Structure 1
Amino acid sequence: MSTHRLQFYREAGQFLAVAGDHLAADPVVSTVVTTVAHRLSARRDEGAAQADRDWWLVVRDATGAVVGAGMRAAPFAPYPPYLLPMPDDAAVALAAALQERGEEVLAVNGALPAAELCAAELARLGGGRVSVGQHTRLHELGELVPPTPVPGRLVVATEDDLALATEWFAAFMGDADEQAGRPRGASAHEVPDRADILRRIRTGRVWFWIDEAGRPVHLTAANPPSFGVARVGPVYTPPAQRGRGWASNAVAEVSRRIRAEGARACLFTDQANPTSNKIYAALGYRPVVDMANLVILR
């Protein structure tokens, strides 16, 4: 039996008010939850609707202190909960709570071992088994190591670039699956729609690397800083342009700009993609925590 208390919140703003200090204490590990919470809280203030299935979780210990957090706010099927680190018994108790709430949960993402423990208990309670969809690793930039310079320069995307940015955002996940040896579409991830990409462009968080002829050959984006941490991604180079150093130089310059804003830089890598892991390590990114996207097969 868990010694921890689970509290669910409907609104991201309520969740941030309660869990903000806990999230801010380790803002790199919390980056996905905090950026999504801040984004959805802002949209709610603008009158945007919230999906009925969405929730925000706070885990408290016997003293009432916040010791864990999570969310279910994914806009893509099968709408996996995303868990931050929490006590083991709380992760197991969460599975039982979700079953009691009548929620169908066919995938769990987030930090290990919390995501793994919750998924395993969900599979035990509902029948089935857990399969790994993707192993990811969160990295934070230490000392930035400039890469070998290449021709061209980084430019901020404009609204005129919306069509190309939308195309490359959409291509990113499928190509990443192939590079990691998975079938295209095997990874369930959010693909931002045109409206969301336009918002990112308008806030200056999408960049292209252009070659000497002024042609865009690479895209790097980043989230706005949340609790002083900005997460880089996606990072996409079309197949015909790969192996030329565009990605290394673009990510290095975006990371430098994030640092110049006074924020820390982090990013995720797919552990099955040795190329990207090697590139980011060479730039000075260091592992922080392993995470996984887990699928419950029934």
Structure 2
Amino acid sequence: MSTVPMAGLRLRFLTDPEEFLAAADDYLRADPVVCTVVTTISHRLMSQRAEGIDQSDRNWWLVVADDSGAVVGAGMRTAPYAPFPPFLLPMPDEAAVALAHALYGRNEEVLAVNGALPAVDLFAAELTRLAGGRVQVAQHTRLHELGELACPPPVPGHLVVATEDELGLVTQWFTAFMGDADEQAGRPRSTSAHDVPERAEMLRRLRAGRMWFWVDETGQPVHLIGANPPSFGVARVGPVYTPPGQRGRGWASNAVAEVSRRIQAEGARVCLYTDQANPTSNKIYAALGYRPVVDMANLTIVR
């Protein structure tokens, strides 16, 4: 753990997810939808640590506190794939700038950053001023929360829980989801599988019953959908993937509606991310009752 003092604020770095969740509890609970990525990943890594699963010594969590000790910002660096982008939650502008100085000062290389605007913009701009390079936008995302669910026109078939026996198809479609999302947003198709969970993590999701297929009237899988377990009372839907040959038939709308209904029936709030460059998915989710909460961005730093 380390602490970086600054006028009016204090940046506190932690290496234990449980300690972070305790230190930032009030902040995370105040807006659990915006904090969903940080809380779900932190809870997962906390569980893995309790099970004796090795954690990367690269991981850290950030708590930003004001003079009174109240937490006013947070973030983490836990991505298991290069270039290991930090993920920043909302924080005062001066804290985002101070974070860039702190990481630069300890020679921590940062070539990408994800999270809430304007924190990521300010952080990346200051870091490139200090260390050189230029900032590029890899993706603009938007976090949505479901209000009142508006059910779509029904289609044949129903939702079924994916099983361990279907690991191969789940992994194949999860991988295709990442590349297809790039194409649909007008970006070059990604050749990296870094956003696809490793086999052990995929098996954990399947065993938890948090991955589903929509199957048609013949029992054939035509759509894949997943959701994280609730964290601070919020569950996040994703991935949402329909193979090209099955698109335009209402599978996705019905699958998202049914998973969302189940999450709300459990007493949890439900949210999801969209790519702002993909008007089709944004239109589908809006029709179901999802409303924008906050804009975020994935930035890269080119040197």
Same fold by TM-score greater than 0.5: yes
2:227 is matched with which residue: 222, 244, 254?
222
Does the C-alpha gap of structure 1 residues 189 and 62 become closer, same or farther in structure 2, counting only changes over 3 Å? Answer: farther
- Map 1:142-161; keep pairs closer than 5 Å: 142-161=147-166
Q: Which digits, 9 at most, give the CA deviation of each residue in 1:168-225, with x for residues without a partner?
A: 1111111100110001117885210121111111111000000011000000000000
2:138 is matched with which residue: 120, 126, 133?
133
Q: Secondary structure at the match of 1:244?
A: coil
**Which residue does the alignment assign to 1:17?**
22
Paired with 2:32 and 2:254, the residues of 1 have a C-alpha distance of 26
Q: Does 1:277 align with 2:282?
A: yes
Match for 1:279: what amino acid? I
After TM superposition, give the deviation of residue 3 of structure 1 in Å: 2.6
Whether the aligned pair in 2 keeps the contact of 1:2 and 1:93 (CA below 8 Å) is: no
Q: Secondary structure at the match of 1:176?
A: helix
Paired with 2:197 and 2:105, the residues of 1 have a C-alpha distance of 32
Q: Does 1:164 align with 2:181?
A: no
**Which residue does the alignment assign to 1:179?**
184
Whether the aligned pair in 1 keeps the contact of 2:183 and 2:189 (CA below 8 Å) is: yes
Q: Secondary structure at the match of 2:24?
A: helix
Whether the aligned pair in 2 keeps the contact of 1:58 and 1:70 (CA below 8 Å) is: yes
**Which residue does the alignment assign to 2:40?**
35
Paired with 1:27 and 1:166, the residues of 2 have a C-alpha distance of 29
Whether the aligned pair in 2 keeps the contact of 1:225 and 1:263 (CA below 8 Å) is: yes
Match for 2:174: what amino acid? F
Q: Does 1:92 align with 2:97?
A: yes
Paired with 2:169 and 2:287, the residues of 1 have a C-alpha distance of 29
**Which residue does the alignment assign to 1:52?**
57
The percent of aligned pairs where both chains have the same amino acid is 76
Moved over 4 A (4+): 186-189
Whether the aligned pair in 1 keeps the contact of 2:175 and 2:193 (CA below 8 Å) is: no
Moved more, 170-179 or 283-292: 170-179
Paired with 2:293 and 2:165, the residues of 1 have a C-alpha distance of 37
Q: Secondary structure at the match of 1:191?
A: coil
Whether the aligned pair in 1 keeps the contact of 2:214 and 2:224 (CA below 8 Å) is: yes
**Which residue does the alignment assign to 1:238?**
243
Paired with 1:236 and 1:82, the residues of 2 have a C-alpha distance of 24
Moved more, 288-297 or 45-54: 45-54
**Which residue does the alignment assign to 2:3?**
none
After TM superposition, give the deviation of residue 49 of structure 1 in Å: 1.1
**Which residue does the alignment assign to 1:122?**
127
Paired with 2:261 and 2:299, the residues of 1 have a C-alpha distance of 33
Q: Structure 2: which 5+ residue stretches go unaligned?
A: 1-5
Whether the aligned pair in 1 keeps the contact of 2:260 and 2:270 (CA below 8 Å) is: yes
Whether the aligned pair in 2 keeps the contact of 1:84 and 1:114 (CA below 8 Å) is: yes
Q: Structure 1: which 5+ residue stretches go unaligned?
A: none
Paired with 1:95 and 1:52, the residues of 2 have a C-alpha distance of 20
Paired with 2:130 and 2:7, the residues of 1 have a C-alpha distance of 16
1:109 is matched with which residue: 101, 106, 114?
114
Whether the aligned pair in 2 keeps the contact of 1:123 and 1:130 (CA below 8 Å) is: yes
TM-score, normalised with respect to structure 1: 0.98
**Which residue does the alignment assign to 1:67?**
72
Does the C-alpha gap of structure 1 residues 233 and 132 become closer, same or farther in structure 2, counting only changes over 3 Å? Answer: same
After TM superposition, give the deviation of residue 103 of structure 1 in Å: 0.5
Q: Secondary structure at the match of 1:86?
A: coil
After TM superposition, give the deviation of residue 2 of structure 1 in Å: 4.8
Whether the aligned pair in 2 keeps the contact of 1:134 and 1:187 (CA below 8 Å) is: no
Q: Does 1:3 align with 2:13?
A: no
Paired with 1:197 and 1:52, the residues of 2 have a C-alpha distance of 22
Q: Secondary structure at the match of 2:154?
A: coil
Paired with 1:193 and 1:247, the residues of 2 have a C-alpha distance of 25
After TM superposition, give the deviation of residue 159 of structure 1 in Å: 1.4
